[in-house]
Each structure stands twice: as structure tokens, then as C-alpha cells.
Amino acid sequence: MPRKVVQGPIRDKEKTKQKLLAAVGKILRVKGYSGLKVSKIAAVAGFDKKLIYEYFGSTDKLIDEYIKSQDYWSKFNPNVEEEKVTTIGKEVLTQGILMQFESLKKNKELQKIILWELSESKPILKKLVQQREDVGAELFAVTDPIFGENSKRFRAILALIVSGAYYLNLYPAYNANEFCGLDMKTDEGRSEIEKAIVDIIDFAYQKVKK
């Protein structure tokens, strides 16, 4: 027999927090970042705005928590020590970027966050960018010794791949479907990009082995 879930202050607080976070996502998706005002978030969630301050401390902290819950790289947590002795970073990098490419396609709120990063300078966005850099630094601790004097070149290659993955998801979402004759709204077009990502990383590793 399933255990009965009992309502209580802790459970109610968590449900309220989730509704407030969901309200941030809904506003971001429909109105964009300019709509993220404390009164609007409270109204969409159906609560008094004082609960935002009580549960999160401030509107910025609420938005910060929402952003972290959506950002792929903030949740990416590779086992760095294991990577050093197994695939020397190649597998986790390849799969990480491929999963990011797919995740961004599905997550319209994250697309809005990326656009927000490009159009405004805010502490919560700078913090998110730094968190991504921290994840990258962990991976570079694995790849830098492998690539040696070419480690910065490999970082540049990854920068182009990751930024391309962002752009190729944002571009068809707002202006057009095709980029370089590839339809980014079809499985076929996206599959070609995914194959190219694998090929480029493979080539870089093969070159360093030589």
C-alpha cells in the first residue's frame, strides 16, 4: 500500500518555491527577461510577493536559482579523476557537447537566457557564465596535459564548437530554418551537425597522438 503523503509546512514551502520558479520560466518564455518583475512573478505564481523574499531572499536570487536549474553546463558534473585514466576527456567532452546541443533545442527558456546574456550585463548572468567556465576548467585539467603546447588551440576548437551549438539552436528559433543549406529544424540537418562535432573532436585527438 503506498505511503500517504502528509501535507505540512516543509512540503507546502517546497511546492510554493517550485510554483515561483515555474512562474519565472513562464514569464521568460512569454514576455522575455524584461517581464521578470517581482509583482509579475508573484501574480503569475498566485502568491504574495513577500514569499519571494521569505523563501529566496530577493528576486535576483529567485531568478538565479531558476537559471541554474535550466542551464545545461551548470548541471554537468563529469568525474574528472576517472576521465584522466579512461578516455582522457574525449568521451565526456563529445557527449557533453552533443547533449548540450540537443538540450538547447528543447529548452525555450534556456534560449531566452542565452539571448539575455548577450544583451544585458547583470551579476546573476555573470555568475552563470563563471559557473560554466568553472566546469570547463575541470575538463581542461584533463585535456591540457594531453595536448601540451597545443592545449590552447584545442580550447579554441572547443570554443568554436560550443558557441556554434548555441548559435545553431538560436538562429532557427527566431529567423530562419536553414544555415549553410542545412535545415536546423529537421533531424537530418541536426544529425549532420552532430556528426561534424564528433569528427572534429576525433580529428583533434588523432592529431595529438601523431
Q: What is the pLDDT of residues 172-189, one digit of tens each?
A: 877 788 999 999 999 999
| Unique residue bearing C-alpha cell 522575455 | 32
Q: What is the pLDDT of residues 187-204, one digit of tens each?
A: 999 999 999 999 999 999
- What mean pLDDT comes out for the span 36-50? 93
112 has a pLDDT exceeding 60: yes
Strand residues in the chain grouped as ranges (E) = 178-179, 182-183
User: Which pLDDT value is given to residue 38?
Assistant: 93
Q: What does DSSP assign to residue 68?
A: H
Q: Does domain 9-62 have CATH number 3.40.1000.10?
A: no
Mean pLDDT of the chain: 86
Q: Is 156 exposed, middle or buried (0-12, 13-18, 19+ CB in 10 A)?
A: exposed
